[in-house]
Chains A and B, each alone.
Chain A
Amino acid sequence: MPKNTPSAPSVPGAPGVPGNPAGPGGSAVTPCPNCNITSQTAVSVPSNRARTDLGVGESVDVTFSLGAATWTFSPNEGMLSSTSGSTVTYTAPDRASTVIITATGGGCSCSITFHIIEPSGIRMVRQPGTQRKHTFHRASTGFIADIYFLPETVSFEHCSYVESDVDAVGTGCFQQYFANNSVGHHPNPNPISVGPPTSDTSGSKVNGFDRISCDADKCDGGWTWSIPWSFQVGGGLSKEFTTVDQVIAITAAGRATISKAGASASSEFNDPTEVDPLF
């Protein structure tokens, strides 16, 4: 269905209604050329506030061009602030969907279609201006990360997320230790809220930061946590949407490297101690 579809209401015998002859030649005539629905998202970033792709839980104002209208939506997912009025607010559901909102008034009816999108992934970037975490003569490194929810085309500011705790899997000199011991990464147990995107290409920025660090005896090996991430909207049910690897590599010379979701840091054994205050 096109984004914005005007038509006359389905009145028996009315021209242009499926099953009803539209007159000579049978071609459907659009009787309501000025009938349309405009929309404006509550958030101002992404900058295209007329977009019809919405993040789960996002709100959008929809306005009927002909004034007072009766509003319906299908399927019954999400919420309309009211079923009447010239402008109403639609709040998207907490799961992916395609929802058609229809306004009827002034003898006309038209629809607008919204595509509701769930988070598909995350990206991390080292927080600008922050230092690493390293202790002189330790195989250690770390960084402070900003976290962004993808895709960047919508806002996930009504979401929050949790990381599940999982055991690390070791390699090389650490393989045996992690095989014999359950070593989690100790995530925050409470949902961390997500804010709006900071630009059209950023993704939705988490209202929080990650402290990503490692510190180990030097030897050739490493370990990985494969961490499931789940989102939720408000107090709704959570849903796993991606798995993020937090990977640590250590060398016999004491070089430590850590990476997560596209961001990384590395320190040499002999690097001077540095610790960002956010650690």
Chain B
Amino acid sequence: MRFVLLPVTVLCLGFSADAGANQRKKASMSIESAKKQVAERLDLYRKTSAVEELRGAGNAIEQIEVHTVPDFTGRQAARQEKLALWLTLLDTIDSAKDPKFNPEDVPAARVTVPDTPMKPGVPVRTPEGIADPEVRRKYDQAVAANAEKTNRYRIQKELRQIDKELTSRAERYIASAYLRSQRSVKEMDEAIAQSVHHPDRASSLRALVKPAE
């Protein structure tokens, strides 16, 4: 059987040399394009805190199709590039998360007007009616602080939502592209050393490829 197939295989390889080169070029362009898009998205995220940019970066990474690269070495390189991009993205999220964030410490929809005398002729307690300018100033400060807290809370909460979503997607990729083996651990360790600054993340990533005991 081998005797019959060998010449056919050689023939196919020779016949498809140009196609292989084209596929390699296409795959390389796809990786370069994804890297550029991810860099742009992460840059925009740092400027705007908009989590849509992080999701967009994740989508750009998923456009890299490792399995379409025609040769083993190329696939190996594409796999590592894709892993490195996922790890860079997850590290960006980890770095933006405030470790002191307390999800129970929620903001208020408004600030209560303090119990303080109103100006003459004002029959209801309102901020405009506050007679003492110093009390009004403090009230305005409390309003500004609550608004700031609201923003901070929303950003941190959205980060945790996108973390959950993108971690799941990255793990799905790792599970599909890597066997549980020492070789995979070595490759993962190299990628972690390049991009990951958070020990918890590093541990959970290693656990995905560690051989079963």
Residues on A lying within 8 angstroms of B by beta carbon are 42, 59, 61, 79, 81-82, 84-85, 87, 89, 91, 133, 135, 140, 142, 147, 157-158, 160, 163, 173-174, 177, 181, 183, 185-193, 195, 207-211, 213-217, 219, 223, 234-235, 278-279
Contacts and interface: CB of A to CB of B under 8 A. Distances in A.
Contacts of B158: 193, 234
Interface of B: 48, 50-52, 55, 58-59, 62-63, 65, 103, 106-113, 115, 123-128, 143, 146-148, 150-151, 153-154, 157-158, 161, 164-165, 168-169, 172, 176
Contacts of A61: 168
Nearest to A187: B110
Given A234-B50, A235-B50, A207 B109 contact: no
Contact of B110 (A89, A157, A160, A211): A211
A188 B147 contact: yes
A49 to B, nearest CB: 14
A172 to B, nearest CB: 11
Given A174-B123, A188-B107, A191-B154, A234 B51 contact: yes
**Which secondary structure dominates chain B's binding surface?**
helix
Contact of B124 (A189, A195, A223, A234): A223
Contacts of A91: 55
Contacts of B108: 188, 208-211, 278
A193 B124 contact: no
Given A79-B59, A160-B154, A193-B153, A214 B107 contact: no
B164 A177 contact: no
A147 B126 CA distance: 23
A9 to B, nearest CB: 20
Contacts of B62: 81-82, 85
Contacts of A235: 48, 50, 52
A183 B128 contact: yes
A85 B161 CA distance: 23
Contact of A183 (B50, B124, B146): B124
14 contacts: A42-B165, A79-B55, A81-B58, A81-B62, A157-B161, A186-B110, A188-B110, A190-B154, A191-B150, A193-B154, A207-B103, A208-B107, A209-B108, A214-B125
Which 5 residue pairs of A and B lie closest in terms of their CB atoms, listed nearest first?
A215-B125, A82-B62, A210-B109, A217-B123, A193-B154
A188 to B, nearest CB: 5
Contact of A216 (B110, B123, B148, B150): B123
